[in-house]
Structure 1
Amino acid sequence: MRILEKAPAKINLSLDVLHKRQDGYHEVKMVMTTIDLADRIELKLLDEDRITIVSHNRFVPDDHRNLAYKAALLLKKRFGIKQGVAITISKSIPVAAGLAGGSSDAAATLRGLNKLWNLGLTLDELAVLGAEIGSDVSFCVYGGTAIATGRGEKIEHIEAPPHCWVVLAKPEIGVSTADVYQNLKIDQIKHPDVEGMVQAIKSQDYGSICHKLGNVLESVTMKMHPEVAMIKEQMQKFGADAVLMSGSGPTVYGLVQYESRLHRVYNGLRGFCDQVYAVRMLGERNSLD
């Protein structure tokens, strides 16, 4: 028996950091939504009681460091599962890109193993388990569009933004999220209007969504990696309606409402960056069907 699950990437429409918590994490308030750039997860039962990870991407670990492995191990321990599983990860989402690729793989593994092992868990129960694996996993269990608070694990669903195109460009660098947060000066933050973004989405006001985009980590990453700023500048120059870095970076995305402009932005960026994608915004929640 095998189960196939789609693991979509996310982008941050708004990302604010409120303060550093006593547990060492930062208190955040974010608006996230899923996009139609996705990894594919295949889960197959094994005769032996073990977890294997198969990926043809050399940047994806095939051991306990992999978040999908951690998801499978968590379910096995929590529910006393004695069956093994082979997890094949077909990557389309760039690795270490600020797009929650690893978190989405873990979330898809939770959803898929819930079916494969007949656990009968709800999405809410899977999201609680996901919070034990990583901050973005809870959101990725649900997908869709949501306000995320706490360290990112407290999820409040909102409606999907109006449909538009998303052009993403990832420079050939890796960014350490820990390093970005370490260089963040909380007392110097210019906070984005997260509530304004939420209202813009509720009103389906595309222009206001573009105006309210904001990410407090963007300036930190740009200072550490000037190529991120260069890509943002080029994306604006080629005509994207609004441009922002996702997560801790280094991926920069642009929103484009009309397909006629999409090709200009996409083709222009191909001259500056190898990893460029043009996808639609998804924004709709996952289901267990």
Structure 2
Amino acid sequence: MSYIEIPAYAKINLSLDVIRRREDGYHELRMIMQTVSLHDTVCLESAGEAGIRLECDTDAVPCDRTNTAWRAAELMFGQYNLAGGLRIRIIKRIPAAAGLAGGSTDAAAVLKGINELYALGLDTGELKRLGLQIGADVPYCIEGGTRLAEGIGEILTPLPDLSGIDVVIVKPHIKVSTPWVYSQLDLSQVTEHDRPDTEKLTEALANRDLKAASLNMKNVLELVTMRRYEIISYAKSRMAQAGAEACLMSGSGPSVFGLFAGPEKAQEAYAKLSAHREWECFIARTV
């Protein structure tokens, strides 16, 4: 085998709680994460000539060593002394800098793809260990599905499967710096009302009760990002008006997603929300 294509799925945060700032500067998190069908396609081809070459169908992401996909390939080639080179082509569908783990999921796809392409035989645990060297979300992107993520996001616990829920996502035409959002979060000002009840949310999701889930689908980073960018509050209100059973900002933003009770309602909402020039709009399902 010399060529492989790997789907790289986006993620949404069904909740996000920041517990504390750690001594190493990272934040201790507790959040429920879910993959959705919106995905990039990562194409890998082994090459006789040494070195990594990366190309992408958009200028929105870099095609050099600052790209997480490149770093993932470099890590694997160095770790396992792989001969020759690698050509990476990314077909982007996940918007960049959106709070949907677009970069992390591409890196995860490269790790999984190289493992298969070069028959390395690495298990999921080893791939996640390698992924953590690239970024905190990469281990989750390797596993995917419905997971409780703790630590900096690398401690993953499987939750009851939530696949098959219809999702609409809007990504406003703004860029949000994740480090800036965390730097502006004052945990002393976060109340219990701002935090999700993860146990109640887990129970509601297990019952696929979206209305009950909506009561505890909370993201404490909204306290920072929504205060700075009014468009996110507007997107949430429009999503709710379009019929979402529950809606939330994903990650540090700016994307907002809504969960819908069936494909017809999701399609209707997508049609309404796509008419707005303030954002890109996507329709998907949980996977």
TM > 0.5: yes
Q: 1:212 is matched with which residue?
A: 216
Name the SS for the 2:44 alignment partner.
strand
Q: Which structure 2 segments of 5+ residues have no match?
A: none
**What are the within-5 Å matches in structure 2 for residues 113-192 of structure 1?**
113-161=114-162, 163-189=164-190, 190-192=194-196
Cα distance, 1:245–1:187 mapped onto 2, change above 3 Å = same
Q: Which amino acid aligns with 1:265?
A: A
Alpha-carbon distance between aligned partners in 2 of 1:241 and 1:156, rounded to the nearest angstrom: 25
Q: 1:193 is matched with which residue?
A: 197
Q: 1:18 is matched with which residue?
A: 19
Q: Tell me by how many angstroms 1:106 deviates.
A: 0.3
Alpha-carbon distance between aligned partners in 1 of 2:154 and 2:225, rounded to the nearest angstrom: 23
Q: Tell me by how many angstroms 1:197 deviates.
A: 1.4
Q: Tell me by how many angstroms 1:147 deviates.
A: 0.6
Q: Name the stretch that deviates more: 22-31 or 154-163.
A: 154-163
Name the SS for the 1:215 alignment partner.
coil
Q: 1:108 is matched with which residue?
A: 109
Alpha-carbon distance between aligned partners in 1 of 2:256 and 2:30, rounded to the nearest angstrom: 20
Task: Tell me which of 267, 275, 281 is aligned to 1:276.
Answer: 281
Deviations 1:65-122 (A, max 9, x none): 0001111111111111122100100000000000001000000100000011221100
Alpha-carbon distance between aligned partners in 1 of 2:208 and 2:243, rounded to the nearest angstrom: 22
Contact 2:172 2:231 in 1 (8 A): yes
Q: Tell me by how many angstroms 1:211 deviates.
A: 2.4
Q: 2:242 is matched with which residue?
A: 238
Q: 2:59 is matched with which residue?
A: 58
Q: Which amino acid aligns with 2:60?
A: F
Cα distance, 1:14–1:270 mapped onto 2, change above 3 Å = same
Task: Tell me which of 267, 270, 277 is aligned to 2:271.
Answer: 267
Q: Tell me by how many angstroms 1:168 deviates.
A: 0.3
Alpha-carbon distance between aligned partners in 1 of 2:48 and 2:164, rounded to the nearest angstrom: 45
Alpha-carbon distance between aligned partners in 2 of 1:37 and 1:149, rounded to the nearest angstrom: 24
Q: Which structure 1 segments of 5+ residues have no match?
A: 283-289
Say yes or no: does 1:38 pair with 2:55: no
Q: Name the stretch that deviates more: 261-270 or 181-190.
A: 261-270
Q: 2:3 is matched with which residue?
A: 2
Name the SS for the 2:215 alignment partner.
helix
Q: Tell me by how many angstroms 1:278 deviates.
A: 1.1
Q: 1:285 is matched with which residue?
A: none
Q: Which amino acid aligns with 2:138?
A: V
Q: Tell me by how many angstroms 1:274 deviates.
A: 4.2
Q: Tell me by how many angstroms 1:247 deviates.
A: 0.3
Alpha-carbon distance between aligned partners in 1 of 2:201 and 2:54, rounded to the nearest angstrom: 38
Query: Taking structure 2 as the reference length, what is the TM-score of the superposition?
Result: 0.95
Contact 2:211 2:246 in 1 (8 A): no
Contact 1:210 1:255 in 2 (8 A): no
Contact 2:243 2:265 in 1 (8 A): yes
Q: Name the stretch that deviates more: 116-125 or 259-268.
A: 259-268
Alpha-carbon distance between aligned partners in 2 of 1:85 and 1:156, rounded to the nearest angstrom: 33
Contact 1:162 1:205 in 2 (8 A): no
Q: 1:251 is matched with which residue?
A: 255
Identical columns (%): 41
Alpha-carbon distance between aligned partners in 2 of 1:179 and 1:274, rounded to the nearest angstrom: 22
Query: Taking structure 1 as the reference length, what is the TM-score of the superposition?
Result: 0.94
Q: Which amino acid aligns with 1:43?
A: L
Name the SS for the 2:205 alignment partner.
helix
Q: Tell me by how many angstroms 1:159 deviates.
A: 1.9
RMSD over aligned Cα atoms: 1.2
Contact 2:210 2:259 in 1 (8 A): no
Q: 1:287 is matched with which residue?
A: none
Aligned length: 282
Contact 1:162 1:206 in 2 (8 A): no
